Amino acid sequence: MTTNTTNRLPVPQVQLVSGRPFGAPPACVGCGGVIDPAGEYYVCLAPIEGRRRILAAAHPGTWDDDDSYDATCPDALRDRWDCELLAIGAGRLVLGQDDGGPRFFLGGEPLHAGATIELADRDGGWVEVRFEYRLHPEADPIGYLQLGGWDGPPVAFVIPADAVARLVA
């Protein structure tokens, strides 16, 4: 398994920020409203011309009076993020449903246990891992990374929700 640094693409990242760390935030992609930089908000960033630039921004979700959570704005940003990822041949790892029950999907496509995928690192590189999962409520997907050196066992780690990845052909 390898780290692919020769095929660096501007992998969009989403962060929760406050202030103006990347300049003035644009209007919210979900509601069109003004984002107050004094509070927290989400930004979808991509490296453009050597700097991280805001592609879109959104208000955080809010709790309504009836204790229901309104995620309209962050969900709209997540949809925009999905489009940006698709444009570079990547997607988010998401647990969903198909005819056979629960399964993981990568960019909307079913992902099979044992598949080789590349996970995006924060610097725009890709790390090749073997994807594995067990489908029960407490099970997270696992990535197996073969380290260099003496032919030792691969390192296993939990792949977090919404990890950005692409399928190795």
Q: Are residues 96 and 113 in the same domain?
A: yes
Residues 55 and 106 in one domain: no
- The secondary structure element, H or E, covering residue 85 is helix 72-87
Phi/psi at 85 (nearest 5 deg)? Answer: -65, -45
Query: What is the per-residue pLDDT for 1?
Result: 44
Q: How far apart are CA 168 and CA 143, in angstroms?
A: 14
Q: Tell me if 94 is assigned to some domain.
A: yes
Q: Say what the pLDDT of residue 40 is.
A: 94
Residue 5 in any domain: the answer is no
At residue 7, the pLDDT reads 52
Whether residues 96 and 77 fall in one domain = no
Q: What pLDDT does residue 5 have? A: 46
Q: Which domain holds residue 56?
A: 13-87
- 37 in a domain, yes or no? yes
Angle, alpha carbons 16-127-137 (nearest 5°): 65
φ, ψ of residue 70 in degrees (nearest 5): -105, 105
pTM greater than 0.85 (yes/no):
no
pLDDT tens digit at each of 169 positions of the chain: 444 544 555 688 888 999 898 888 999 999 999 999 999 999 998 877 777 889 999 999 999 888 899 999 999 999 999 999 999 899 999 988 888 888 899 988 999 999 999 999 877 789 999 999 987 767 789 999 988 877 778 899 999 988 999 999 7
Q: Where does a domain end: 37, 60, 87?
A: 87
Does a structural domain hold residue 7?
no
Within a domain: residue 162? yes
Q: What is the pLDDT of residue 137?
A: 63
Q: Which residues does 111 contact at the CB level (< 8 Å), separation at least 6?
A: 93, 103, 104, 105, 117, 131, 167
Q: How many domains would you assign to the chain?
A: 2
Per-residue pLDDT, 6? 46
